[in-house]
Amino acid sequence: MTYWIFDKNFEGHQYECSGDCSDMLCYLSCCNSIMVESGCFMIYEQPHFKGQQFLVRKGEYPDFKSWLGKNDCVCSCCEIPMGSSHEVKLFERMEYGGQMMALVDDCPNVMDMFQTNHIFSCKVISGSWLFFEQSNYKGRMYLIRPGEYTRFTEWGGLSAHVGSIKRITDY
């Protein structure tokens, strides 16, 4: 999995990367365009995987509008690991408390499926997932990779509200 980061419109300075990069500002004053040769990555508006997140796949992204961003600079990026199966356990309270709900497929409306849209913690057993603030895969998105998240702030969530959940299956 490889991607290149550039100054604006693939011009000026460039940097090749093949994995996570917590602070692109170490290599470029501002990452304004991205070319993904292979793989799937989540880009972040702030260093150290903070701020709004955007999914980029194989292709060219000449500016922030092409990845639906509102900020003209990307500051960090992480690789999304490939997986053939997907399973996540969702909890209605922090630190895995309350009712547990298991999911192995996409969920366009969390409220309809689980009678709640507040996910306070989760355990990703396999695969990578996207949590969206709104139903039907709209609003802010959050990358959830395999591992344990004792509270929503650990995946970067501003609140426990999750409207929809999608597996990342196409690389």
- 169 in Cβ contact with 147 (< 8 Å): no
Does pTM top 0.75 for this prediction? yes
* Amino acid 122: pLDDT: 98
Taking the C-alpha atoms of residue 127 and residue 12, their distance in angstroms, rounded to an integer, is 36
The percent of the chain in helix, strand and coil, each rounded to the nearest 5, is: 15, 50, 35
The predicted-structure confidence for 83-116, as pLDDT tens digits, reads as follows 789 999 999 999 999 999 999 999 999 999 999 9
Sequence-distant (6+) residues with CB within 8 A of 154 are none
**C-alpha to C-alpha distance for 115 and 92, rounded to whole angstroms:** 11
Q: Which of 127, 139, 128, 119 is nearest to 54 (CA)?
A: 139
C-alpha closest to that of 62 among 18, 25, 7, 17: 7
Looking at residue 1, what is its pLDDT? Answer: 57
Q: What is the pLDDT of residues 41-90, one digit of tens each?
A: 999 989 999 988 999 989 998 888 888 777 777 889 998 887 789 999 99
Tell me the CA distances in angstroms from 124 to 95, 96, 129, one per residue in order: 14, 12, 8
Mean residue pLDDT across the chain: 90
163 C-beta neighbours (distance < 10 Å), count: 20
Contacts 24+ apart (CB under 8 A), 100-106: 103/165, 105/167, 106/164, 106/165, 106/166, 106/167
Residue 120, both tokens = 């306070």
Domains and CATH numbers, the chain: 2-79 (2.60.20.10), 87-167 (2.60.20.10)
